[in-house]
Amino acid sequence: MPILRRRRPAHPPPQIDGPSTSSAASDEKEKPSVPMARKPRWNCLDSCCWIIGCVCSLWWILLFLYNAMPASFPQYVTEAITGPLPDPPGVKLRKEGLSALHPVVFVPGIVTGGLELWEGHQCADGLFRKRLWGGTFGEVYKRPLCWVEHMSLDNETGLDPPGVRVRPVTGLVAADYFAPGYFVWAVLIANLARIGYEEKTMYMAAYDWRLSFQNTEVRDQTLSSIKSNIELMVETNGGKKVVVIPHSMGVLYFLHFMKWVEAPAPMGGGGGSDWCQKHIKAVMNIGGPFLGVPKAVTGLFSAEAKDVAVARAIAPGVLDSDFLGLQTLRHVMRMTRTWDSTMSMIPKGGDTIWGGLDWSPEECYSCISKRKRSNDSIVSQDVKVENANHQPNITNYGRIISFGKDVAEVPSAQIEMIDFRDAVKGNNLAHSNGSCGDVWTEYHEVGWGGVQAVSDYKVYTAGSILDLLRFVAPKMMQRGSAHFSYGIADNLDDPKYKHYKYWSNPLETKLPNAPDMEIYSMYGVGILTERAYVYKRSPSSECYIPFQIDTSADGGHEGYMCAKGWRGKTRFNPSGIKTYIREYDHAPPANLLEGRGTQSGAHVDIMGNFALIEDIIRVAAGATGEDLGGDQVHSDILKWSEKINLQL
Amino acid sequence: MLRRRKPEKKPEAETSVPVAVTPTPAAVSVPAAATRPARWSCVDTCCWFIGWICFSWWVLLFLYHAAPASLTQQVTEAISGPMPDPPGALLRKEGVTARHPVVFVPGIVTGGLELWEGRPCAEGLFRKRLWGGTFGEVYKRPSCWLEHMSLDNETGLDPPGIRIRAVSGLVAADYFAAGYFVWAVLIANLAHIGYEEKTMYMASYDWRLSFQNTEVRDQTLSRIKSNIELMVATNGGKKAVVIPHSMGVLYFLHFMKWVEAPAPMGGGGGSDWCARHIKAVMNIGGPLLGVPKAIAGLFSAEAKDVAVAREKAPGVLDSDFFGLQTLPHIMRLSRTWDSTMSMIPKGGDTIWGGLDWSPEEGYDCSDKKKSENVPHTSEEFRVGVDDIHISNVNYGRIISFGKDVAEAPSSNIKRINFRDAVTGNNFAHSNNSCHDVWTEYHEMGREGIQAVADYKSYTTSDVLDLLHFVAPKMMKRGGAHFSYGIADDLDDPKYKHYKYWSNPLETKLPNAPDMEIYALYGVGIPTERAYVYKLAQPAECYIPFQIDITADGGSKNSCLKDGVYNVNGDETVPVLSAGFMSAKAWRGKTRFNPTGIKQYIREYNHAPPANFLEGRGTQSGAHVDIMGNFALIEDILRVAAGATGEELGGDRVYSDIFTWSKKIDLQL
C-alpha cells in the first residue's frame, strides 16, 4: 500500500487527464452491474488482491529458495555471524571414542509430556488419538471449554471423569518436543544417538502427569510397564544396568518408583529388595524438586505464578474477569486442582527445611550479586521485578506467603496473627452466586468470613501453608493426603512408612539398598527463582479468586538432599549410595540465533545445556561420578544445607 | 479476463463527459491505484490472480475450520445414504467391552522406518521417517535415499555408518502415508469398546531384515515377548489376541517357535509359553505358503502394476530417464532386503502344482462377474465378459517363456537344463557405466541369460534353482534364514534351526491346545499366480527379463491378462497360500499341528466401494484395504472381547479352498 501511494506525485499527468478518470466515475454510474466497466477503476478490492498476490508469490519464492538451499545453510549463516559453533557434546565425545554402554531411561516432568484423547464427549469429535496437551494446543483456542472439560480429572477420585479417557503419549515422541520447535528431551536424544544410542537402548517412561503417582499404576499400570521395560533393556544389553534421567517432577516420580518396585506385590511391584541394585547404575536427577517448590503453593492457592501475575498486572482485563465469558483463571484453577500430581510439589519438611517466621537457610542471600552477572537483556522478566535495591539481609524467605509487603519485612514480634483454623466458613458468598455454577472453585464455599480469616493470619511458613491449603481447598487436600505426605519422619522404620503416600517424599523414605548406585543432582543456578510471595486480597467481583500475588523472590532447594540429606550413610540413605551435585551456572544465549542457548540453567532449557549433556553421556558410557570430577558447585548450597537442622 | 476489457475502454472514455467528479473519501484513499490501470501489465494480472486465489482459499479454509466437524460426514450421508455405524460403536451398544490385550504385527512395507545415523547427505533427517509418511526425501535426494534404505549385501544388516530403525508404538503402522490407513481403523474401533495403549501393542520390526536378524540387531523378538508378558500380567492374566497382517503372519510364526526354543537361539520362554500367553492368532491375509508375486519381484523387479506402467510409459522406468535407471536401482535395493525371500512360494510342486497340474486348475476367472454387479469395479474385473473354455490354465508353471510355452502340453516343451550353464562374464565388466547399479545379472553373461530362457518353463521347485542361478549372493544370504521345503520328519533335530521357523511346512505349531488360529482373508479379486516372461531388448544397463505384457488370453474372461495368470485371492496373496494351512494341513490333529489347535477360516468377499466418497470401502477384500472391512473388524472385536471361533460361526468360506486343498497330496 505505501508503495502505491508514493507513486502518486511521480505521475501527475494521468491523474489530471480528465476523461480517463471521469470515465471511470461515469462508468460506474451508468453500468454499475457490469463488471467490465469497472476496469479502469482500480478499486480497493483489486489492490488488496494485488498485494496479497505479491506477498503470496514472494512467499512462495522464498519458500522455494529455502527448500532448494542446502540443509546446512542456516548453520552456515549462524556461524558467519557468531563464529563457529562448538561441536555438540555427542560429536565431541564420539571423537573421544565413547560409545553407548548403559541403556538410558528418561522420566519426563510435569507438563512436558504429551497427552492424547482416547475417548471423549461429543464436543471432542474428531480428536481421537490427537494430542490435547503438547503439540500445537490448537484445540485450546478452538474449543476451550471442551478442552478444559477433557483435561480435568474427576474431583472426587482423581481419575478419569466418566466417558473421558485422556492418556499419555508413549515412546520418545511423548516428550522430545513439547510444542513444535520447543525441545525438551530432543537435544539430549540426538546427542545420545551420536554415540550409538537408539530406541532399543533409550526408553521414555511417559506417564500421565496429572495423576497422583500411585494412580498411574492403578489406572494405566505405568509403573509395571517401566519396570518391565527396564528389565528388558538390562537383559537385552548384556546385563548392563540402566542410567535413569528424571527431570523436574519426574524426580519425585522415580523416587516413588524405586520404593514401589521393591515393595511387596499388592501395593508395590514385588521386584525384591535388590531390584534397584540389580537394574540401576545411576539416577541423574535434573532440576529435581525433591523438597517441593514454592511455586506449587501459589499455583494451588490462587492459580497464578510469577508470569501470570505479571501478565495480570499488564492487562488486567484479559485474565481477570469475564473476557469473552471465559473466566480464564478460574477455569485454570478448577482444572489444575483436579490434578493430584501438583500436590506432590508442595514444599516438604515444613519449617525445618524452609525456615520459620524469622529465619531461613538462604537468608543473607544477595539478589544484587546476580544482577551484575545477568545484565543481558534476555534475562527473564522476573529479574526486573526484584529491581528495587533493598538491603539483602532482611528477606524473610521463611514466610512463604505474606499479606502485604510490610508484613513480609517486619520482625515477627510485630505481626499479629489471628488464627484462621477455627474460622467459620460462611456460605453467604458462594451460593448466592448462581452464575458461577460451572466455574467451580472451593473459594465459594469458604465464604467472606473465611477469606477474611486467611488474610488476617498475615504470614504463612511452609508448615502453616499446609493448613492454609487444607482450609481453602479441603476437597483437594483430602484427595492429596491419600497420596502425598509433607512431613519429616522421626523413625523411618515405623511400619506406617510402608504406605505409598510416603514414597515420593525423600524425608520420609529410605533410599533403596543399592550401594553401587549413584545419585546425581543436576540443576541450574544463577536465575532468580520464586521462593516466597506477597499476597493481597483482590477486590471482590462476581466469580473471583480472592487472593492475588504482589511480587516474588528467590531461592533453590534442589540440591539439599544430595548435599546433606543423603550424603554419606544417613538414615535416609542407609546403604551409603554416593551422591554428586552438579550445578550449571546460567548464561543466557549470546544472541537470538542461539535459540534457547547451550549454557542455560533454566528449568527446562537446561536440557539443552552442553555441559549437562556431556555429563550425562559420560555416565551413560560408563563413567562414575568421580570420573566426572565429583561435585561441581557454584551456589551456596552446602552452606545453606548446614543451617538446616535435620536429624540424619 | 481483464485483458478483454481493453478494447471497450476507448469508446467509453469518449462518450462520457467529465461530470463533476466529487472526490469521495474512498476515491481519495485509492487514487494512486487508479493511476495504475494504464499500465496493467501481465505481472499485475498474475499478482491479482494469485491474490484472488489465495484470498478465496483463505476464506474457504476459514469456513472449513468454522464448520462443525461432522459436516463432511453429513454431506456424505446426504449423498450416499446414512453410513452404517462402525462396528466398534455397534458392539459397544451390545455391551461388548475390552477383555484380552491385542498385539498387532504389521506386514512388509507398511511399517515406518526412521533414520538414527546417516551419511552427510542425509543431514537434518535424524529421527525423520525415510519410509512411510510423505516419502518426501525420495524425490528430494533419491540416491541418498537409496543408499540409506539398502542393507549390506553380504550380511543383510546395516551398512557401516547407517542406522535405520523401525518406528515404535502404534504410530509405526497406523497410517502408511498421510490419509492411507493400515491399522488406524481397527485401532479406532477397538478404542470404542475400551482399548487403549496399555492393552494394544504394535509389534513393529524392521521389515527389511530376515526375521532372526531383527532379534540379533534390535532384540525385537525379546521386546515382543516382554511386552506380551507385561500385558498379560497387567490385565489379570487374560491372554493376548495376536493379529498379524501379511508378512507379519510369517514373522509371528517365527516368533512362536523362537519364544519356546531354548535360550541361545530362542527366547527361552519354555514349552508352554504360547499356551499361557496367547488366546488366538488371527492371521489377516497371511502368505503362509509364499506369494508368486515375490518371485516376479526378485526375478525382474516388477509385478503386474509395474509391468503395465512400463508398457504405457516405456521410457520412464526402463532406462536412463533422468539418469536414474529406476528399475535396476529398485532391484538392487530390494535384493538387499532378506525379508523378501521369506515370501518365495514354499512347498514346491507338491503345493503349487507341476508342469501339468495345479490345485486351482479349472478355476473359472469369469464367474466372479456374476457376484459383482456394481459398475465401479477395478480394472481386473472387466477381464471376463464372454464365456470361454477355461480349464487349461497351467498354474503350476509359475514362469513360462512365451505364451505358447505356457499353454502347450508338457510333452511338447523342450527344456534345456540351465543349471550347468556357464555364467560368462563377457558382458558385465565391459560395462563400467553400470557399476553403481549393482545387479547380479551382469555377472551372468549372455550365455547364462540365454540358458535361463531355454529352460522355458519353471515350476515352483525350478524357480528356487532359477533364483539361485540368477542371484546367487542373495540366495546364499537367504539360505541361512529361510527354507522352502516340506519336512518328511518334523522331529529331525535339524528343524530346531531358526531358518525353518517361518515355514509352516517345516515346523510344528506350539503345544497350546486352547489356542485358536484364524485365517482371515479377502477373496474375489484376481491375484497373480503365474507369469509369462520374455527376454528384454539388450540395453546398456538392464534387467534381461521382463513380463511379456502382450501375452493375453485374447478373450475377456481368460485368466491370462498382461502376461499374468490370475487366480482367486486378495490381489496379492492367492487363496491357496492364505487358506491351505488352516483348511487342511493344520486342521484337526496333524503332524504339523500335534495338539489340535482349532482352525477357523473366515473369508471376506470383495465388494468395491459404491462411490468415491466411501474411500477405500468398508467391504473390501483387497490385501491392505481389508483392514477397513467392517465384517473383519467385527470378528476381531468379538474375539478380543472373549468370543471363540464357534461363537463367530466357525468357518465362512466363499472360495474353493477346501476342494483345492483336497487335491494337494500332502502327508499329514
Give pLDDT, residue B284. Answer: 94
Q: List the single range of A141-150, A266-275, B89-98, B620-629 with lowest mean pLDDT.
A: A141-150
Packed helices B87-94 and B184-192: angle between N→C axes, nearest 10 degrees: 20
Q: CA-based Rg of chain B, rounded to a whole angstrom? A: 29
Percent with pLDDT over 70 in chain A: 71
Which cell goes with B510? 506350539
What pLDDT is stored for residue B122 in this prediction? Answer: 84
Position with higher pLDDT, A238 vs A557: A238
- Cβ contact A57–B37 (<8 Å): no
Its ipTM equals 0.82
Q: Does A48 touch chain B (CB under 8 A)?
A: yes
In terms of residues, how long is chain A?
648
**Which chain A residues are Cβ-neighbours of B52 within 8 angstroms?**
49, 52-53
C-beta atoms of A228 and B116 within 8 A: no
What pLDDT score does B84 carry? 75
Q: Which secondary structure element, helix H or strand E, spans residue A477, and what is its range?
A: helix A474-481
Q: Is A204 exposed, middle or buried (0-12, 13-18, 19+ CB in 10 A)?
A: buried
- Are A167 and B196 inside 8 Å of each other by CB? yes
Q: How confident is the model at residue B191 (pLDDT cuts 50, 70, 90)?
A: very high
Residue pLDDT, tens place only, B404-413: 888 878 777 7
User: What is the mean pLDDT of the segment spanning B107-128?
Assistant: 88
Across the interface, of B35, B52, B126, the residue whose CB is closest to A11 is B35
pLDDT for B314 equals 52
Judging contacts by C-beta atoms under 8 Å, the chain A residues touching residue B188 are 128-129
Predicted confidence at residue B46, as pLDDT, reads: 76
Catalytic residue ranges of B:
246, 570, 623
Among A42, A55, A200, select the one facing B37 at the smallest CB separation.
A42
| Mean predicted lDDT score pLDDT of chain B | 80
In this complex, do A48 and B14 lie within 8 Å of one another by their Cβ atoms?
A: no
Beta strands of A24-181 (E only): which ranges?
104-107, 115-119, 131-133, 165-168, 177-179
Q: What is the pLDDT of residue B578?
A: 92
Per-chain mean pLDDT for chain A: 76
Residue B166: pLDDT band by 50, 70, 90 thresholds? Answer: very high
Q: Are B558 and B552 in contact (CB under 8 A)?
A: yes
Q: Give the pLDDT band (50/70/90) at residue B155.
A: confident
B414 pLDDT tier (thresholds 50, 70, 90): confident
pLDDT at B379: 36
Residue with the three cell numbers 481368460:
B558
pLDDT of B275 strictly over 90: yes
Predicted pLDDT of residue B468: 87
Q: What is the pLDDT of residue B140?
A: 76
The DSSP-derived string for B91-144 is HHHHT----S-EEEE--TTTS-EEEEE--GGGTT-BT-EEESTT-HHHHHSHHH
Residue A468: per-residue pLDDT: 82
Residue B661: which of B293, B290, B280, B353 has the closest Cα?
B353
- A128 near B CB under 8 A: yes
Written as one letter, the residue type at B294 is: A
Q: What is the DSSP letter of A569?
A: S
Of residues B31, B47, B163, nearest to A57 (C-beta) = B47
In this predicted structure, what is the pLDDT of residue B16?
Answer: 41
Per the CB < 8 A criterion, the answer to whether B242 and B280 are in contact is yes
Q: What is the pLDDT of residue A27?
A: 43
- Which of A174-183, A315-324, B545-554 bottoms out in mean pLDDT, i.e. has the lowest? A315-324
Q: Is A232 in the B-facing interface, judged by CB distances under 8 Å? A: yes
pLDDT at A450: 73
B448 confidence band (pLDDT: 50, 70, 90):
confident
- Predicted confidence (pLDDT) at residue A234 exceeds the cutoff of 60: yes
- Using CA atoms, how far apart are residues B638 and B189, in angstroms rounded to an integer? 11
The whole-angstrom separation of Cα A396 and Cα A532 is 8
**Closest among B427, B397, B414 to B544, alpha carbons compared:** B427
B444/B586: higher pLDDT: B586
CA B35-B40-B43 angle, 5° bins: 130
Tell me which residue of B280, B191, B292, B196 sits closest to B244, measured CA to CA: B280
pLDDT for B457 equals 87
Q: How many CB pairs under 8 A join A and B?
A: 182
Cα A235 to Cα A217: distance, rounded to the nearest angstrom: 23
> Per-residue pLDDT for A607 more than 70?
yes
Q: With a CB-CB cutoff of 8 Å, which residues 248-277 of chain A face chain B?
A: none
Between A181 and B166, the higher pLDDT residue: B166
* 3-class secondary structure, A623: coil
A-chain residues near B32 (CB < 8 A): 4-8
Residue A301's φ and ψ, nearest 5 degrees, are -75, -45
Which pLDDT belongs to residue B406?
80
Rounded to an integer, the average pLDDT of A144-169 is 88
Q: Which of A532-536, B266-270, B629-633, B639-643 has the lowest mean pLDDT?
A: A532-536
Give yes or no for A627 touching B (CB within 8 A).
Answer: no
The x, y and z cell numbers of residue B36, run together, are: 495504475
Best CA proximity match to B572, nearest among B622, B524, B625: B622
Q: β-strands B525-535, B545-547: how paired?
A: antiparallel
Tell me what the mean pLDDT of segment A559-584 comes to. Answer: 86
Residues of A with Cβ-Cβ distance to B223 under 8 angstroms: 200, 232, 236
Regarding beta strands B560-561 and B564-569, do their DSSP bridges make them parallel or antiparallel, or are they unpaired?
antiparallel
Q: What span, in angstroms and rounded, lies between the C-alpha atoms of B305 and B561?
A: 12
State yes or no: pLDDT of A315 exceeds 90: no
pLDDT tens-digit map of A618-642 = 999 999 988 888 888 888 888 888 8
The answer to whether B393 and B361 have CB atoms below 8 angstroms apart is: yes
| Per-residue model confidence as pLDDT tens digits over A111-141 | 888 899 999 888 888 888 888 888 777 777 7
Quickly list DSSP for A68-84: HS-TTHHHHHHHHHH-P
Q: Chain B contacts of A189, Cβ < 8 Å?
A: 127
Q: What is the helix (H) or strand (E) element at residue A315, kind and residue range? A: none
pLDDT of residue A527: 74
Residues B9, A39: C-beta atoms closer than 8 Å: yes
Chain A residue numbers touching B92 (CB-CB < 8 A): none
User: For B129, phi and psi rounded to 5 degrees?
Assistant: -75, 125
User: What is the percent of chain A with per-residue pLDDT over 90, rounded to a whole number?
Assistant: 20
Written as one letter, the residue type at B108 is: I
Q: Is the CB of residue A126 less than 8 Å away from at least one CB of chain B?
A: yes
CA dist., res. B498 & res. B483, Å (int): 10
Q: How confident is the model at residue B30 (pLDDT cuts 50, 70, 90)?
A: very low
Tell me the C-alpha distance between A308 and A328, whole Å: 11
- Nearest C-alpha of chain B: how many angstroms from A47? 7
Under 8 Å between Cβ of A355 and A398: yes
C-alpha to C-alpha distance for A585 and A377, rounded to whole angstroms: 17
For residue B226, name the pLDDT band (cuts at 50, 70, 90). very high
Of residues A23, A37, A50, nearest to B44 (C-beta)? A50
Question: Residue B230: which of A29, A50, A228 has the nearest Cβ?
Answer: A228
Contact B223 A228 (CB under 8 A): no
Answer yes or no: is pLDDT of A502 > 70.
yes
Gap from A54 CA to chain B (nearest CA, Å): 5
pLDDT tens per residue, range A57-92: 888 888 888 777 665 666 677 667 766 667 788 888
**pLDDT in the model for residue B333:** 82
pLDDT at B601 over 90: yes
Contact B511, B594 (CB under 8 A): yes
Q: Is residue B303 within 8 Å of residue B528, measured between CB atoms?
A: yes
Q: How far apart are CA B459 and CA B347, in angstroms?
A: 11
DSSP, collapsed to helix, strand or coil, labels residue B524 as: coil
Give kind and range of the element (H or E) at residue A547: strand A547-552
Average pLDDT over residues B293-315: 68
Quick one: pLDDT at residue B22?
Answer: 43
pLDDT beyond 80 at B94: yes
Quote the pLDDT of residue A329. Answer: 67
**CA–CA separation, A144 and A531 (whole Å):** 32
Strand A104-107's sheet: what is its strand order?
Answer: A202-204, A104-107, A242-246, A280-286, A518-525, A578-585
Is the pLDDT at B356 greater than 60? The verdict is: yes
| Predicted confidence (pLDDT) at residue B501 exceeds the cutoff of 90 | yes
> Does residue A568 sit in helix, strand or coil?
coil
What local confidence, expressed as pLDDT, does residue B618 receive? 83
Higher pLDDT, B82 or B621: B621
> What's the whole-number mean pLDDT along residues B423-433?
47
Residues on chain A touching B51 (C-beta within 8 angstroms): 48-56
Are A400 and A468 in contact by the 8 Å Cβ rule? The answer is no
Model pLDDT, residue A51: 80
- C-beta atoms surrounding B590 within 10 Å: 17
pLDDT of residue B556: 65
Rounded Cα gap, residues A508 and A490, in angstroms: 8
Q: Is A455 on the interface with B (CB under 8 A)?
A: no
pLDDT, mean of residues A553-557:
45
What is the Cα B323 distance to its own chain's centre? 28
C-alpha cell at A430: 458462594
> Cα–Cα distance between A504 and A252 in angstroms, integer?
5
Task: Band the pLDDT of A489: cuts 50, 70, 90.
Answer: confident
Please tell me the distance from the alpha carbon of residue A207 to that of residue A213, in angstroms, as a whole number: 9
Residue A445: the pLDDT is 61
* Contact in structure between B217 and B152 (CB atoms under 8 Å): no
Residue A196 distance to chain B (closest CA, Å):
8
CB of A99 within 8 Å of any CB in chain B? no
The answer, yes or no, to whether residue A432 has pLDDT greater than 70, is no
Q: 3-state SS string over B378-419? A: CHHHHHCCCCCCCCCCCCCCCEEECHHHHHCCHHHCCCCCCC
Interface touch B165/A199, C-beta < 8 Å:
yes
Q: Return the residue of B nearest to A120 by Cα.
A: B192
| Residue B211 C-beta-side C-alpha neighbours within 13 Å | 34
- Residue of B19, B36, B199, B221 to mutate, testing the A interface (most A Cβ within 10 Å of its Cβ): B36
The answer to whether A599 and A586 have CB atoms below 8 angstroms apart is yes
Compute the average pLDDT of residues B616-626: 86
Of the residues B198, B213, B217, the best mutation for testing chain A's interface (the one with the most A CB atoms within 10 Å of its CB) is B198
Contact residues, chain A, for B30 at CB < 8 Å = 42-44, 47
Handedness of CA B602, B515, B246, B175 (dihedral sign): positive
What are the start-end ranges of the E strands in B347-434? Answer: 399-401
Which residues, other chains included, contact B59 with Cβ-Cβ below 8 Å and sequence gap of 6+? none
Any B CB within 8 A of A20 CB: yes
Is B232 in a helix, a strand, or coil?
helix
Are A253 and A213 spatial neighbours (Cβ–Cβ below 8 Å)?
Answer: yes
The pLDDT > 90 percentage for chain B reads: 34
Q: How many helices (H) and strands (E) does chain B have?
A: 27, 17
Q: Specify the range with the lowest mean pLDDT, choosing from A22-31, A582-591, B115-124, B583-592.
A: A22-31
Beta bridge partners of B201: B103
Torsion angle (degrees, nearest 10) of CA B604, B100, B260, B495: 0
Which among A199-208, A285-294, A547-556 has the top mean pLDDT? A199-208
- Range from A251-260, A598-607, B604-613 that averages highest in pLDDT: A251-260
In Å, the largest CA–CA distance within chain B is 109
